[in-house]
């Protein structure tokens, strides 16, 4: 993208927004913080991380309600702790779960909005998400298998009633124009390392008891019957079709939010499963069929629903050794996290330590009276960071955002189920807005890399306003991500590696901020 000298796009100035060559072009709407505006002539970029492990020089990157966006400050070690500082220590020798990665979903709605931008600008969106270190380094992408609510209409890949051999199975226009082009761009920016996983919302209507994709209900017949066999083959056909287009599917979830399928009048596509049904389907049909057809071993992700289902859902499936051998991961959504305890995750880990957990979907603006984007809202970014830190500190291995791009109303969505997104497109002005949500995701995805390991960390004295987690990256850099939820107080922290005596990185963590410290 050709860049021109920086020009503010609104009368909203805060000195030191970003230390990058091309800083955030801030715009203030009616929220408590700003968006960074990108158009065909200008977009912000990020300072290089530039830290040599164990060199005594670290880097602090901070984003805040007051407008900082990955603001970089170089930090050198000191041998003393200031009187007003609190020690935050980490122990790189006490290791926990390996980090899988972070990403988002490339839906029909995302493709529609990207297609509404000039091509170079749309390409820059994918670049800023998936490149590293120039972007925020996403390493995963979720793909709806056929349609979901963030489509313009319900559709499947096999709409011929009674086609049990799926001879009429075909990808649709949506795949070729809205999903595949951007999945391929993501591949180019990750050196082909991005992991794609598919999730179905519903089987074709003719396979379901209701005869409809829209609404819930299970497939017809017994779990080992003809309809379930055809549905297992549907997964195979999808993976083969995407492979033929140059996209290797790393894994699949068995069903998006299977509990919503209890409601026959559910507003959009869904399908009912309980844990025992998933167990039998995976054990007898889907697991063997995927392993027989794909030599690289397509991963199988159970649940793909809220953590209130844990640990019971995992217990039911993993208690059967013949089903458990096909389970590679447990998928979790965040929509009950305010009411269901994080201890559900912790309990699941300790009962089934060999099966990693991955948050497969989350979005802001999904409930209440503001079910749409709030341009520049910091509270939603804080909610993301809070949830990610809680999940990681309870043995979750990664976290996936929902639609990577939506429009200003929060769609399109064929049933009006509008929500927020990390990037919002304004096609009328040929620009897009990087929300505080984008930087909340980036404080993890850019600095905590795939195959990093979470390590022990603790404060010398508790502070309910501070949340944090520490990691060791594959390149041996140490990363501590710190969320300050306090409305007005800046906290001085002396961050130390307990394996080194009297060596501290002293940093200031401003109010309503998110910091990634790399040393």
Taking the CB of residue 4, how many other CB atoms lie within 10 A of it?
A: 9
Tell me which residue of 290, 31, 270, 297 sits closest to 144, measured CA to CA: 270
DSSP 388-431: HHHHHTTTEEEEEEEES-EETTS---TT------SEEEEGGGTE
Q: Judge residue 273's burial from the number of C-beta atoms within 10 Å of its C-beta, 0-12 exposed, 13-18 middle, 19 or more buried.
A: buried
- Residues forming beta bridges with residue 73, ordered by sequence position: 60
Distance of CA 482 to the CA centre of its chain: 19
- Tally of CB atoms within 10 A around 147: 25
- Helix (H, G, I), strand (E, B), or coil: what is residue 39? coil
How far is Cα 407 from Cα 399, in angstroms, rounded to an integer?
23
Please state, in angstroms and rounded to a whole number, the distance separating the CA atoms of residues 205 and 264. Answer: 13
Active-site residue identified among 174, 361, 382, 431: 361
* Encoded tokens for 445: 């995805």
- Catalytic option among 257, 382, 431, 467: 257
257 labelled catalytic: yes
DSSP string, 224-239: TSHHHHHHHHHHHHHH
Q: Tell me the catalytic residues.
A: 257, 361
């Amino acid at each position: 993208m050709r860049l021109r000298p920086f020009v503010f796009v609104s009368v909203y100035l805060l000195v030191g927004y970003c230390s990058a060559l091309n800083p955030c072009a801030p715009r203030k709407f009616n929220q408590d913080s700003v968006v960074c505006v990108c158009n065909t002539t200008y977009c912000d970029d990020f300072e290089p991380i530039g830290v040599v492990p164990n060199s005594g020089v670290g880097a602090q990157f901070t984003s805040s309600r007051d407008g900082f966006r990955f603001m970089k400050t170089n930090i050198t070690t000191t041998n003393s702790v200031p009187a007003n500082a609190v020690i935050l220590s980490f122990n790189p020798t006490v290791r926990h779960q390996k980090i899988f990665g972070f990403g988002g979903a490339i839906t029909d709605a995302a493709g529609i909005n990207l297609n509404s931008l000039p091509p170079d600008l749309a390409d820059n969106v994918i670049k800023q998400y998936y490149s590293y270190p120039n972007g925020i380094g996403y390493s995963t992408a979720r793909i709806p298998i056929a349609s979901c609510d963030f489509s313009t209409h319900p559709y499947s890949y096999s709409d011929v009633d009674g086609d049990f051999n799926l001879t009429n199975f075909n990808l649709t226009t949506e795949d070729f124009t809205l999903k595949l082009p951007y999945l391929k761009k993501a591949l180019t920016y990750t050196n082909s390392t991005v992991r794609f996983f598919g999730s179905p919302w519903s089987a074709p209507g003719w396979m379901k008891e209701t005869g409809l994709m829209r609404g819930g209900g299970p497939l017809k017949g017994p779990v080992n019957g003809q309809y379930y066999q055809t549905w297992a083959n549907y997964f195979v056909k999808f993976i083969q079709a995407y492979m033929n287009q140059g996209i290797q599917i790393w894994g699949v979830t068995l069903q998006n939010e299977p509990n919503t399928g209890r409601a026959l009048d559910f507003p959009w596509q869904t399908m009912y499963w309980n844990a025992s049904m998933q167990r039998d389907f995976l054990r007898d049909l889907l697991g063997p069929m995927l392993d027989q057809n794909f030599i690289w071993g397509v991963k199988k992700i159970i649940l793909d629903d809220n953590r209130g289902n844990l640990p019971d859902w995992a217990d039911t499936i993993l208690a059967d050794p013949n089903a458990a051998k096909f389970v590679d991961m447990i998928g979790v959504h965040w929509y009950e996290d305010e009411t269901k305890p994080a201890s559900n995750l912790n309990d699941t880990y300790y009962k089934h330590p060999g099966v990693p957990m991955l948050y497969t979907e989350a979005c802001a603006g999904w409930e209440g009276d503001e079910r749409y984007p709030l341009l520049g809202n910091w509270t939603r970014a804080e909610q993301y960071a809070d949830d990610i830190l809680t999940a990681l500190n309870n043995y979750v291995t990664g976290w996936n955002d929902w639609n990577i791009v939506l429009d200003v109303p929060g769609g399109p969505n064929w049933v009006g189920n509008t929500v927020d997104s990390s990037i919002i497109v304004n096609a009328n002005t040929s620009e897009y807005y990087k929300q505080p949500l984008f930087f909340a995701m980036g404080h993890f995805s850019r600095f905590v890399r795939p195959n990093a390991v979470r390590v022990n960390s603790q404060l010398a004295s508790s502070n309910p306003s501070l949340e944090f987690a520490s990691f060791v990256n594959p390149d041996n850099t140490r990363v501590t991500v710190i969320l300050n939820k306090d409305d007005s107080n800046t906290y001085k922290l002396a961050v130390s590696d307990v394996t080194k005596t009297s060596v501290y990185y002293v940093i200031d963590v401003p109010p309503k901020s998110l910091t990634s410290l790399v040393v």
